[in-house]
Structures are given as structure tokens and as C-alpha cells.
Amino acid sequence: AAGGIAASVPLASRAQDALEPNTWEEITNYCNYYEFGTGKDDPARNAGALTIDPWTVRIDGLVDRPGDYSFADIMSQMTIEERIYRFRCVEAWSMVVPWNGFELADLLNWVGVQSSARYVAFETVLRPEEMPGVASRVLEWPYVEGLRLDEAMHPLTMMATGIYGRDIPKQNGAPLRLVVPWKYGFKSIKSVVRITLTEDEPPASWNIANPREYGFYSNVNPQVDHPRWSQATERRLGGGLFAKRQPTLMFNGYEAEVASLYDGMDLREFF
């Protein structure tokens, strides 16, 4: 990726000096990216076929300067920094990932968000000829996700373009993906080709597939179980066969930073 890595220490990681990142091998060989297959090792095996150069992101909707922005254009405007975040999957496993990327807010401010915008919609690339998994209708394709505008503008929310200072691998969502560390992993949509500012709550793929199990917000919350499993604890991957389960933290450990976004909301109803 273009751009150097700024040596800034983000707010969230200062309180988390104890976070020990997973290895490159772990992070890049255990992925959920159903467009390349439902197995955890399918993406690493199949994602090689994805063309990521050239790459264009269409930014449209309620923005001042809508258009098709090339990946290089975007990177020339953004400051890349490293963020070590917890990553909690809705399946109750977790990792720690040293991402490189930029704040989504910087990108949105660059294109100019109009005052009527309240939500941000995202879309993953859909290329059946390069993505063997989309032949099966596990989900409706293309994969889509959404955030409330204040969530999208939050300084913790980033677009990742790298891991461990290297370009982000295709199986992890190259060339750029969303990372929202206080939400379940599936919110962090991969290989983004479209960002749309909207007035209404945008659709989200897992929510469409099963609204009872996957809400729009999908904030990490140990008190609200998935209907089919508990979210109170998680398996931190990389600890071997006998690793002990760990308690899951409210908002995945980012409660101090993000809890105020949901003041007055019943998190059981808006799960």
C-alpha cells in the first residue's frame, strides 16, 4: 500500500498494552469470507483469483463530491496508521489484529457528507468468475453492510489496507475493508467497492438472511446471546487445544470510547 505508517498511538490501544497480536499466519489463514467458501481455510485457498488492481470505490448518495475514486487516489489523501484491535467474531472466537489503515471519518470528510445523511451503506465486490463461493446462495450477494453515521465517523472506525505493515491479503478483504472493533466481525465488510451515504437504515446481509439472529447494530455484548449460542465468553485463537475461554468484554473492550453512542437505547432490542 502507498503511504507510510504514522507512529501515532490511538486512544484505544493505550489502555490495552497487554494486547498480544495473533501471528500473520493465524490472521491470514483463518477467515470468514463466504464469497470464497464457507470453510475457514477456503478464503486463503481461493481468494488468489481476485483482481484488486485496478480498484475503484464508488462513493455516492448524500455526499458533496460523489464519484468513482481509484484506490490510489484515496491512498494519496489518507494518513495510514497502525491500530492494534481486538477482533471478536459472532461465532464466539476472537483474535488480536495489528491493522494498518485510515479513519473512515477522514475519507467521508474528504468527499463531504451532506447534513441530511444519517447512515453509511457499504458493498463488497461481486465477481462470480473470481469468487467460487457465490455460486451457492449462502447469503444474498453482493454482501452489504451499514453503519449509523455517528458510528462511521467515530475515531475507532477505520478502513484497513494492511496487516503487520504489509498489504492486506485478499482473504482478509484486500485492498480495503472496514474495521469496527466494537462490533461483531461480520460488520467489518471486506473488499469494499461502494460507500453510499443515506437517509434511511441500509440493508445488511446477515440481517437479511436471519433477522432474529443478526441485528443491524451487532455490537459485541456479553449479555445478549446469539439465539444459538452464548456470547458471554470467547475462545481467543492461537492458544492451542487447551486454551481457556475468556470473558467477552462489553463493546469488545471499547466501552469507554463508544458506549455513549448508544445512550438511552435498549441494547436487547437494538442488538
Partner 1 sequence: MVDRLNTVLRRMPAWAIYILAPLPVLWIYYLGLTGGLGIDPAKRIEHELGLWSLWLLIAGLAVTPIRRWFGLNLLKFRRAIGVVTFFYLLAHLLTWLVLDVQFQNVWADIVKRWYITVGMLAFVLMLPLALTSNNCSLRRLGPVRWRRLHKMVYPIALLGALHFLLLVKGFQWEPILYALVIAVLLAARLNLQTLRLFRVSTRA
Contacts with partner 1, residue ranges (CB under 8 A)? 22, 26, 29-30, 34, 38, 40-41, 91, 93, 136-139, 209-210, 225, 227-230, 232-233, 235, 237-238, 240-245
Spatial distance between the Cα atoms of 149 and 198, rounded to a whole number of angstroms: 9
- Round to the nearest angstrom and report the end-to-end CA distance of the chain: 35
- Complex with partner 1: residue 94 or 100, whichever CB lies closer: 94
Q: In what order do the strands lie in the sheet with 67-70?
A: 67-70, 56-61, 192-198, 119-124, 144-148
Closest separation between CB of residue 91 and partner 1, Å?
8
Task: List, in order, residues 6 or more apart from 265 with CB less than 8 Å away.
Answer: none
Contact 220, 248 (CB under 8 A): yes
Residue 230 Cβ vs partner 1, minimum distance, rounded to whole Å: 5
Cβ distance to partner 1 smaller for residue 237 or 259:
237
User: Please, what is the minimum distance in Å from the beta carbon of residue 23 to partner 1?
Assistant: 9
Query: Shortest Cβ distance from residue 138 to partner 1 (Å)?
Result: 4
Torsion angle in degrees (nearest 10) through CA of 171, 175, 180, 183:
-30
- Which of 70, 136 has the CB closer to partner 1? 136
Of residues 29 and 198, the one with the C-beta less far from partner 1: 29
Tell the smallest beta-carbon distance from residue 16 to partner 1 (Å).
Answer: 21
Pick between residue 26 and residue 73 the one whose CB is nearest to partner 1.
26
Q: How far is the CB of 253 from partner 1 (least distance, A)?
A: 20
CA distance 76 to 52: 17
Handedness of CA 109, 147, 159, 133 (dihedral sign): negative
**Least distance from partner 1 to the Cβ atom of residue 137, Å:** 6
Question: In terms of CB distance, is 58 or 245 closer to partner 1?
Answer: 245
**Do 257 and 16 touch, CB atoms closer than 8 A?**
no
CB of 227 or CB of 264, closer to partner 1: 227
- Return the beta strands (E) in 104-181 as ranges: 119-124, 144-148, 158-163, 166-167, 177-179
Distance CA 190, CA 124 (A): 6
CA distance 271 to 265: 10
For partner 1, which is the closer residue by CB, 58 or 226? 226
- Burial of 228-243, coded b for 16+ CB within 10 Å and e otherwise, reads eeebeebebbbeeeee
Least distance CB 48 / partner 1 (angstroms) = 19
